[in-house]
Amino acid sequence: SSWYNLDEYTPCQPTCGDSTQQRLVACVEEGTQSDTKQFSAVANKFCLNPMPKMLKVCISAAECPALWGIGSWEKCSVSCNGGLQRRWLGCQKVLPDGNLVNVSDTECADIPRQRSIRVCNSFPCQKPRIKEPVKKFFQLTHSMAINIFTGSHAYVLPATVLTVRCLTRGIDRSSIRWFRNGKPLVPFTDLRVKYSRNSLHRIKVQTLSTPNQSENYTCRCNTIYNNVSRTLESTVVLHLISLIDILRETAHRESYLLGTITSPYANVTDPADKRPRRAYYVNSQWSSCTASTCKRYGRQTRNVSCEIITTNYFEELPVGVCKRGRLKRPEVKRKCRMDCFKWITYEWGKCHPMSCIRDNMSIQRRRIVCYDSMSHSITRRRNCDNLSLPPSLERKCSTPLCRTNWVTATSWKKCHGQCGSYGVQTRSLWCLWEKTGLPAKNNCYNKLRPLVKRTCKMPLCKHGGTNQ
pLDDT of 308-334, one tens digit each? 999 899 999 999 999 999 999 999 999
**Same domain membership, residue 316 and residue 257:** yes
pLDDT reading at 465 higher than 60: no
* Residue 214 · residue 239 · CB < 8 Å: yes
- Checking DSSP bridges between strand 153-156 and strand 136-139, what pairing results, if any? parallel
Q: How many domains does the chain have?
A: 6
Position 32 scores a pLDDT of 62
Helix (H, G, I), strand (E, B) or coil at 252: helix
Direct distance between the N- and C-terminal alpha carbons of the chain, in angstroms, rounded to an integer: 145
Is 136 contained in some domain?
Answer: yes
Position 392 scores a pLDDT of 84
**Same domain membership, residue 362 and residue 388:** yes
Q: How far apart are CA 277 and CA 305, in angstroms?
A: 16
Q: How far apart are CA 68 and CA 397, in angstroms?
A: 107
Is 463 contained in some domain?
Answer: no
Q: Catalogue the E-assigned strands of 244-360.
A: 266-269, 276-283, 297-301, 304-309, 313-317, 333-337, 341-348
pLDDT reading at 188 higher than 90: no
**Same domain membership, residue 78 and residue 47:** no
pLDDT, mean of residues 43-67: 80
Q: Which residues contact 21 (CB under 8 A, 6 or more apart)?
A: 9, 10, 11, 12, 55, 56, 57, 58
pLDDT, mean of residues 332-353: 87
pLDDT reading at 84 higher than 80: yes
Q: How far apart are CA 216 and CA 450, in angstroms?
A: 77
- Checking DSSP bridges between strand 276-283 and strand 266-269, what pairing results, if any? antiparallel
**Same domain membership, residue 384 and residue 412:** no
Burial 96-119 (b: 16+ CB within 10 A, else e): eeeeeeeeeeeebeeeeeeeeeee
**Low-confidence winner among 18-22, 136-140, 367-371 (lowest mean pLDDT):** 18-22
CA 158 to the chain's CA centroid: 19
pLDDT, mean of residues 81-89: 92
Helical (H) or strand (E) element with 216: strand 214-225
pLDDT reading at 13 higher than 80: no
**Same domain membership, residue 138 and residue 89:** no
pLDDT, mean of residues 272-278: 92
Is 24 contained in some domain?
Answer: yes
**Same domain membership, residue 178 and residue 150:** yes
**Low-confidence winner among 49-63, 73-87, 110-124 (lowest mean pLDDT):** 49-63
pLDDT reading at 379 higher than 70: yes
Position 362 scores a pLDDT of 93
**Same domain membership, residue 158 and residue 93:** no
pLDDT, mean of residues 79-106: 87
Q: Which residues contact 460 (CB under 8 A, 6 or more apart)?
A: 419, 420
**Same domain membership, residue 369 and residue 319:** no
Q: How far apart are CA 189 and CA 183, in angstroms?
A: 14
**Same domain membership, residue 320 and residue 252:** yes
Is 287 contained in some domain?
Answer: yes
Is 285 contained in some domain?
Answer: yes
Query: Pick from 212, 241, 270: which residue ends a domain?
Result: 241
pLDDT reading at 468 higher than 50: no
pLDDT above 90 as % of the chain: 43
- Checking DSSP bridges between strand 341-348 and strand 333-337, what pairing results, if any? unpaired
pLDDT, mean of residues 28-39: 68
Position 216 scores a pLDDT of 94
Higher-scoring residue by pLDDT: 256, 103? 103
Position 131 scores a pLDDT of 92
Position 467 scores a pLDDT of 47
State residue 448 phi and psi, 5-degree precision: -70, 120
pLDDT, mean of residues 115-135: 90
Amino acid 372 reads D
**Same domain membership, residue 115 and residue 141:** no
* Strand partners of residue 94: 100
Highest mean pLDDT among 5-14, 50-59, 85-94, 337-346: 85-94
pLDDT, mean of residues 388-416: 89
List helix spans (H) across 197-312. Answer: 243-250, 254-258
Q: Which residues contact 65 (CB under 8 A, 6 or more apart)?
A: 16, 93
Query: Pick from 38, 58, 78: which residue ends a domain?
Result: 58
Q: Which residues contact 99 (CB under 8 A, 6 or more apart)?
A: none
Average pLDDT of every residue of the chain: 87
pLDDT, mean of residues 76-98: 86
Is 467 contained in some domain?
Answer: no
**Same domain membership, residue 324 and residue 237:** no
CATH of the domain at 228: 2.60.40.10
**Same domain membership, residue 109 and residue 89:** yes
Q: Which domain holds residue 73?
A: 67-120
Position 162 scores a pLDDT of 93
pLDDT, mean of residues 394-417: 91
* Residue 148 · residue 162 · CB < 8 Å: yes
Query: Measuring CA to CA, how many Å separate 258 from each of 252, 254, 262, 433, 439?
Result: 11, 6, 11, 50, 50
Q: Which residues contact 327 (CB under 8 A, 6 or more apart)?
A: 264, 265, 266, 279, 281, 306
pLDDT, mean of residues 39-57: 82
Is 468 contained in some domain?
Answer: no
Is 165 contained in some domain?
Answer: yes
Q: How far apart are CA 410 and CA 392, in angstroms?
A: 42
Helical (H) or strand (E) element with 319: helix 319-324
Query: Pick from 319, 338, 357: which residue ends a domain?
Result: 338
Interval 123-132: pLDDT, tens: 888 888 999 9
Cβ neighbours of 351 (radius 10 Å): 20
